[in-house]
Amino acid sequence: MAPTALENEDHIRDAAFNKALHGKSAEEKAGFRAMLKKDPVAQKAALEEYFKHWDNKEAGVETVEVREARKTEYATLTRHYYNLATDLYEYGWCASFHFCRFAYGEGFYQAIARHEHYLAHMMGLRDGMKVLDVGCGVGGPAREIAKFSGANIVGLNNNDYQIERAERYAVKENMTSQLAFTKGDFMVCACPEGSGIHTNLPKQMSFPPNVFDAVYAIEATVHAPSLEGVYSEIFRVLKPGGVFGVYEWLMTDKYNNDNPRHREIRLGIEQGDGISNMVKIDEALEAMKKAGFVLEHHEDLADREDARPWYYPLDGNLRMASSLGDVFTISRMTRPGRFAVHNSVGALERIGLLPQGTRKTADSLGVAADCLVAGGKEKLFTPMYLMVGRKPQA
């Protein structure tokens, strides 16, 4: 069930913190250059606010109360996670913050785009549709899906910095007539001015019912404290007959919460990826049904027989790379590559070029990478459980 009280939104507070921490770094071309422009005092505040949920709370001593505290503060936890991690994601991965399948000979960026195209294909997105991207990141998938399908897309995000990055990319690629981005909690969706969608409404007002032709989420709704809660809100804003497609992060049926190693893998993924409460596949399917959707398709795409597993970039197997460009991308995510980042970021912290806590964040992402690989190899976890559901006609 959804929590009885959602975390209160405060857009003025968040905008002020964004300005203090990030300044004008959203205008930088690359993630690493943006890291050099952060305010150390604000960075320390974000670091403390995020890691208070994880420090000294290992899997072996984790309690129900600890998990409930994370769920209660889900929006703040997610917002500060991306305040800390966004630039590292753009530096070490790309502007689309998700995993993908890999075909034989397929390059990293090509595979990322194909994963986005496949979701749009399964949903039947096409020219002129009004589509909501729930948890849009810096807009990488929205840009790609808009180009592929011709749809008009609104990206929803509770992190001001990521919205600024997404808007910058949209301007750069001359896509502002097809894309809009708005600040909001995806448990309480909000509508942007200038999006062509109920533009007479105030910016922070919740979407009225029956607004969008389609809604998608790519590895984003895992941040919600309740899948039933976020799926229900998505159901509300869809038009009758509208479609919802999602790639969900889930623990599989093989996950056993009484197994200490399984809990350690799950907690490592949650800590390194800003997740308050990850659940199993059956709970997600039940949440879709309780929200009111008629499931048209559901499948764990990680179970497909692909040339290379979805986690191979994190596993650091350079022999699986299909090009020299991929070798460069993937080498940053190998253990030696992460060790080099650990040392270089630590050195830059010591001389004051990077704010304190950057290395701690990078190390947390490294722990998550190891747990993601372990979860993938042992079939305990999937980042690509595909569900496509439709809102019945009135």
Give per-residue pLDDT as tens, 209-235. 999 999 999 999 999 999 999 999 999
DSSP, collapsed to helix, strand or coil, labels residue 261 as helix
Q: How many other C-beta atoms are found inside a 10 Å radius of the C-beta of residue 307? A: 13
DSSP, collapsed to helix, strand or coil, labels residue 355 as coil
pTM of this structure: 0.91
Half-sphere exposure of 179 (CA within 13 A, CB side): 28
Exposed, middle or buried, 272 (CB in 10 Å: 0-12/13-18/19+)? buried
Whether 376 has a pLDDT exceeding 80, the answer reads yes
- pLDDT tens, 304-348? 999 999 999 998 788 888 888 888 878 877 778 878 888 888 898
SS (H, E, C) 265-292: HHHHHHHHHCCCCCCEHHHHHHHHHHHC
Which whole number is the average pLDDT over 250-273?
94
Four-point Cα dihedral 246, 252, 258, 259, nearest 10: -120
pLDDT at position 198 is 35
Q: In what order do the strands lie in the sheet with 238-251?
A: 179-183, 152-157, 130-134, 212-218, 238-251, 381-390, 294-300
Share the mean pLDDT of the chain.
88
Q: Please report, as a single letter, which amino acid is at residue 360.
A: K
Q: 58 is written with which tokens?
A: 């290992």
Query: Distance between CA 137 and CA 112 in Å, rounded?
Result: 15
Give the confidence band of 186 by pLDDT, cuts at 50, 70, 90: confident
- pLDDT tens, 6-59? 567 788 898 999 999 999 999 887 777 888 889 999 999 999 999 988 887 777
Q: 246 is written with which tokens?
A: 């999602």
Whether 4 has a pLDDT exceeding 50, the answer reads no
User: Residue 278: phi, psi to the nearest 5?
Assistant: -90, 140
User: Residue 329: phi, psi to the nearest 5?
Assistant: -65, -50
Q: Please report, as a single letter, which amino acid is at residue 100.
A: C
pLDDT at position 202 is 31
- pLDDT tens, 159-179? 999 999 999 999 999 999 999
pLDDT at position 7 is 65
Give the confidence band of 252 by pLDDT, cuts at 50, 70, 90: very high
Give the confidence band of 188 by pLDDT, cuts at 50, 70, 90: low
Higher pLDDT, 118 or 51: 118
* Contact yes or no for 41/110 (Cβ under 8 A): no
* Contact yes or no for 139/169 (Cβ under 8 A): yes
pLDDT at position 320 is 86
Half-sphere exposure of 18 (CA within 13 A, CB side): 21
Query: Distance between CA 58 and CA 73 in Å, rounded?
Result: 19
* Contact yes or no for 216/155 (Cβ under 8 A): no
Query: Distance between CA 189 and CA 205 in Å, rounded?
Result: 8
Helices (H) and strands (E) in the chain, counts: 15, 7
User: Residue 375: phi, psi to the nearest 5?
Assistant: -65, -35
pLDDT at position 3 is 43
pLDDT at position 200 is 36
